């Protein structure tokens, strides 16, 4: 590559559409897409299996026993705990809060951030998460803060669960989403917040295609200035 690789950071609360939009824009721009939440989810799943998602000492100790790796199979991200492919298992609803719990531990964040930077190095990349613009890629070519009302995000999550044949009551999904948002925005280590230089995109009244088009437009404008 003769030019410098570009990097696009997409942060925001759960269910705002970050991962599906980031995946689609990455495919259009021929860039790598890295879902950083999957890494916290894998570690959260490991601690859930040990029954210790709120035990900071056990969490820090486990960091050295567990090998979390990311592989790309036909462009799709797969995540492993040791040799076990946990790409599907990390999507179980109970893993969401476990991921949020372990992600509040500073040592976990340090380990994951280092891994994320290493994976992305030398590639055109779109990364989504909670701290990409503020911490992982502070010099990103473009930073987006993607959000939507909690009610709309819960509505979308309910639809997704129903499509998977796993319907959940709306009120329960909404409450869990609010609890996780609260925890992610109030932790001491790299809390979820918009970077000062991020462009906020509120997707509450936008369709998926409109959101992809808007992010692509912002990306091409930013890349053109590189
Ligand atoms: O994006 P997600 O919902 O799959 O992420 C699961 C949890 O992981 C989220 O509630 C907080 C944590 N997380 C984080 O702290 N930093 C990131 N960059 C990505 C996720």
pLDDT tens track for 141-187: 999 999 999 999 999 999 999 998 999 999 999 999 999 999 999 99
The mean pLDDT of 117-127, rounded to a whole number, is: 97
Residue 63 placed within a domain: yes
Tell whether the model's pLDDT for residue 86 goes beyond 80: yes
Is residue 226 domain-resident?
no
Please state whether beta strands 76-81 and 84-85 pair in parallel, antiparallel, or not at all (unpaired).
antiparallel
Q: How confident is the model at residue 1 (pLDDT cuts 50, 70, 90)?
A: low
CA distances from 200 to 34, 36, 214 (A): 20, 20, 11
The answer to the question of residue 225 being in a domain is: no
The CA 156 to ligand 1 mean position distance, Å, reads 18
What is the distance in A from the centroid of ligand 1 to the CA of 2?
33
For the chain, strand residue ranges (E) read 7-11, 32-35, 68-73, 76-81, 84-85, 125-129, 142-147, 199-202
Which CATH number do you get for residue 182? 3.40.50.300
Ligand 1 atom at minimum distance from 11 CA: 18
- Six token digits for residue 212: 């992809």
pLDDT band at 75 (very low <50, low <70, confident <90, very high): confident
State the residue range of the domain holding 173: 7-219
Indicate the average pLDDT of the chain. 96
What is the distance in A from the centroid of ligand 1 to the CA of 167?
22
- Helices 170-186 and 93-103 pack at an angle, to 10 degrees, of 10
pLDDT, average across residues 115-135: 97
Read off the pLDDT of each residue in 8-20 and give the average, rounded to a whole number.
Answer: 96
- Assigned domain for 48 exists: yes
* Closest protein CA for atom 13 of ligand 1: 37
Q: What share of the chain is helix, strand, coil (3-state, %, to 5)?
A: 50, 15, 35
> Does 36 contact ligand 1 (Cβ within 6 A)?
yes
In the chain, the number of structural domains is: 1
Average of per-residue pLDDT across 118-127: 97
Asked if residues 10 and 128 have their Cβ atoms less than 8 Å apart, the reply is yes
Report the C-alpha dihedral over residues 113, 119, 123, 126, rounded to 10 degrees. -50
Write down the pLDDT at residue 226: 67
How many angstroms does the Cα of residue 37 sit away from the middle of ligand 1?
4
Is 224 inside a domain boundary?
no
Query: pTM to 2 decimals?
Result: 0.96
């Amino acid at each position: 590559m003769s030019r410098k690789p570009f990097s696009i950071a997409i942060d925001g609360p759960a269910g705002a559409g970050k991962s599906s939009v980031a995946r689609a824009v990455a495919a259009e721009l021929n860039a790598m897409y890295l879902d950083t939440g999957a890494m916290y989810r894998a570690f959260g799943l490991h601690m859930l299996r040990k029954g210790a998602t709120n035990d900071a000492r056990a969490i820090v100790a486990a960091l050295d026993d567990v090998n979390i790796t990311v592989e790309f199979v036909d462009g799709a991200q797969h995540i492993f705990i040791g040799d076990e492919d946990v790409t599907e298992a990390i999507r179980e609803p109970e893993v969401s809060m476990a991921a949020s719990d372990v992600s509040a531990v500073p040592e976990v964040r340090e380990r994951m951030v280092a891994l994320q930077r290493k994976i992305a190095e030398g590639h055109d990349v779109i990364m989504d998460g909670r701290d990409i613009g503020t911490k992982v890629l502070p010099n990103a070519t473009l930073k987006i803060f993607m959000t939507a009302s909690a009610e709309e995000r819960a509505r979308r999550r309910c639809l997704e669960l129903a499509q998977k044949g796993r319907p959940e009551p709306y009120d329960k999904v909404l409450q869990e989403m609010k609890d996780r948002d609260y925890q992610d925005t109030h932790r001491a280590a790299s809390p979820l917040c918009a970077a000062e230089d991020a462009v906020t995109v509120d997707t509450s009244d936008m369709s998926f295609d409109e959101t992809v088009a808007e992010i692509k437009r912002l990306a091409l404008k930013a890349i053109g200035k590189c």
